[in-house]
């Protein structure tokens, strides 16, 4: 399939992406009969400026299997036909959070898919930022010592991380710093749930993704 990026077409539009009430689906509006290319990019990124360069890369990836396919690191795409969108109640299942989704209307003629740029209209934006709220707790590990009235600090801190199903990538996006050293949070750490760090000062948890909100 060859992908061509064309200018806006008033008769072929996709716009106003939003989340379903349960936050498990991405919904949007589009012109009657129009198919949609859904792009997932890093949080706050602009898929409309990135897309022209993606056309050639899309040709080597099958995005029509009713699921998101990775085009390049951090960029995913899914083709949603007008019929599939109707069957899925106006959208498609959400792939993940802490990213930005952009919907672009498209139409296919033979082996050529024409993807239309969105119209510059603030009332019908093509993109939606989807932040992910996660809870991380850092606490000193203490123990009770005979004849001591108060618990004694053991020299370790515990870091309670979100579980493996919380949608947090174990690619180092989330990390903690201790003694000036940045330690990436891995999938193994997320599966473990709590990690213990030997330190005299409290570790600080940080995120390299502005869409990953810590509380």
pLDDT in tens, 133-172: 999 999 999 999 888 889 999 999 999 999 888 888 888 8
Phi and psi (nearest 5°) for 60? -100, 5
Phi and psi (nearest 5°) for 90? 95, 20
Instruction: Verify that 110 and 26 share a domain, yes or no.
Output: yes
Q: Which residues lie below 8 Å from residue 90, measured CB to CB, with a gap of 6+?
A: 27, 28
Q: How many domains does the chain have?
A: 2
Instruction: Verify that 13 and 109 share a domain, yes or no.
Output: yes
Residues of the chain with pLDDT under 70: none
- Name which of 88, 113, 132 is nearest 1 in CA terms: 113
**What pLDDT was estimated at residue 48?**
84
Cβ proximity of 99 and 46 under 8 Å: no
Instruction: Verify that 59 and 105 share a domain, yes or no.
Output: yes
HSE toward the beta carbon, residue 145, CA cutoff 13 A? 7
**The domain boundary residue, chosen from 130, 164, 183:** 130
pTM listed for this prediction: 0.87
**The domain boundary residue, chosen from 74, 102, 130:** 130
| Domain span holding position 210 | 133-214
**The domain boundary residue, chosen from 100, 130, 160:** 130
Instruction: Verify that 73 and 159 share a domain, yes or no.
Output: no
């Amino acid at each position: 399939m060859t992908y061509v990026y064309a200018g806006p077409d008033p008769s072929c539009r996709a716009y106003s992406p939003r989340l379903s009430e349960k936050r498990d689906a991405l919904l949007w509006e589009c012109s009657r009969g129009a198919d949609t290319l859904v792009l997932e990019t890093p949080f706050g990124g602009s898929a409309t400026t990135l897309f022209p360069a993606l056309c050639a890369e899309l040709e080597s990836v099958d995005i029509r299997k009713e699921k998101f396919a990775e085009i390049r690191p951090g960029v995913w795409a899914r083709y949603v036909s007008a019929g599939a969108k109707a069957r899925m109640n106006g959208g498609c299942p959400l792939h993940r959070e802490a990213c930005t989704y952009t919907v672009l209307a498209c139409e296919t003629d033979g082996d050529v898919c024409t993807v239309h740029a969105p119209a510059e209209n603030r009332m019908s934006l093509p993109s939606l930022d989807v932040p992910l709220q996660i809870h991380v707790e850092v606490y000193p590990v203490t123990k009770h010592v005979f004849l001591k009235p108060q618990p004694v600090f053991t020299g370790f801190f515990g870091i309670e991380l979100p579980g493996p199903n919380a949608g947090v990538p174990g690619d180092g996006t989330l990390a903690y710093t201790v003694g000036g050293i940045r330690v990436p949070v891995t999938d193994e750490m997320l599966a473990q749930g709590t990690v213990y760090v030997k330190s005299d000062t409290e570790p600080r948890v940080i995120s390299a993704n502005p869409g990953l909100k810590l509380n």
